[in-house]
Amino acid sequence: MNFNLTEGQLAIQKLAKDFSDREIEPEAEKLDKEGRLPDNLIKKFAGLGFLGMTVPKNYGGMETGNLDCILVIEQLAYSGTGAWWLVGFNNSIPLSIAKYGSEEIKNKYLEPFCSGTAYASIQFTEDGTGSDASALTTTAIPDGDSYIINGMKRFSTFGARPGYSVTYTKDDEGSCTAFVTEKLTEGYAAPKIWELMGSGGIEAADVYYDNYRVSAKNLLGKKGKGYDILLYWIATEKIEQCAACVGIAQAALDEAVQYAREREQFARKIVSFQAVQHMLADMATLVEAARALVYSVARFIDSNPKDYSKVSGMAKLFASDVAMKVSTDAVQILGGYGYMREYPVEKMMRDAKILQIFEGTNQIQRNVIGLALSKEYASRR
């Protein structure tokens, strides 16, 4: 389909595809097994202009639209690795800092994200809470011109890599307050990296804060308003995640079609069987529908609306279900070979599953969409 991309966007898309074909896809199996991205990848992404794409130029970014960024992520996710998460986090997290941070914070922290000298992390989830800010147990207590943070964070992507995190705490008044914190410094430890079902390379770490001192100047946004920042970040990061869903689904479809054209049963290519044709037709239709919705929502966000949590929730809900459905059907079409690790579709199915969970499960997305609809219809009366 023609999505009326500009020449610049087509060039960015091709640049990402060529890089992925050359440097990521050949390493996909290794990355899946080792669960760690190459140390030099972040610098390569920075050199291509893939980090801080949505960040203003005066802070080291490229100041492109969200659509440009998701075009890159879609191509990187096609590889079936977690490489796209690095581009996603080093765009969405700096963008949140650019929106809510003081000039001092923006001048200090944004350029390292854009230049590839710092890995971006988000730290909200704890062992006892996933989406409930009131259940946070990590505390930030004032101490002179600083705050002392104590507690733990779970599943912090790139939490054991050097750089900076947006860390959410419960302040002395019991409210959610966010800080920009430096990782791997005194009082910060990331002793455990979880072994994941898929998304090889994202290094989800458990992080512990032990009397970690952070300057009061590192408070992000207003005290007690951290949850607003989290919701903004989730809404922007969702659309990047949606692009990954489309990339994974497209890769699974391509593998399934190619296999069906080559595999013979009963002296016929299985692509000639109506049952297989119908599966492939449904898969292809879902992929195109997901891409159209994701691109449309990205353009909607770039038009700077006041609130896009509903539409980003719709895109995340639909695109992640598509990625799971299409990758599962690809495994089915490959039959026994689809279940073997020598064939890539089983990895695509594993990678797709986290996209139905991360940044708000699809059940939570339905809550967000439903509440937004209720408010909209109430305002029409």
User: Which residues are identified as catalytic?
Assistant: 359
Pairing of strands 163-171, 119-123: parallel
**CB burial class (10 A; 0-12, 13-18, 19+) of residue 374?**
exposed
DSSP labels, 25-86: GGGHHHHHHH----TTHHHHHHHHT-TTTTS-GGGT-----HHHHHHHHHHHHTTSSSHHHH
Inter-residue contact 229 to 96 (CB < 8 Å):
yes
The full 3-state SS of 286-351, as one line of letters, equals HHHHHHHHHHHHHHHHHCCCCCCHHHHHHHHHHHHHHHHHHHHHHHHHHHHHHHCCCCCHHHHHHH
In 10 A of CB 89, how many CB atoms?
Answer: 23
> Which amino acid appears at position 337 of this protein?
Y
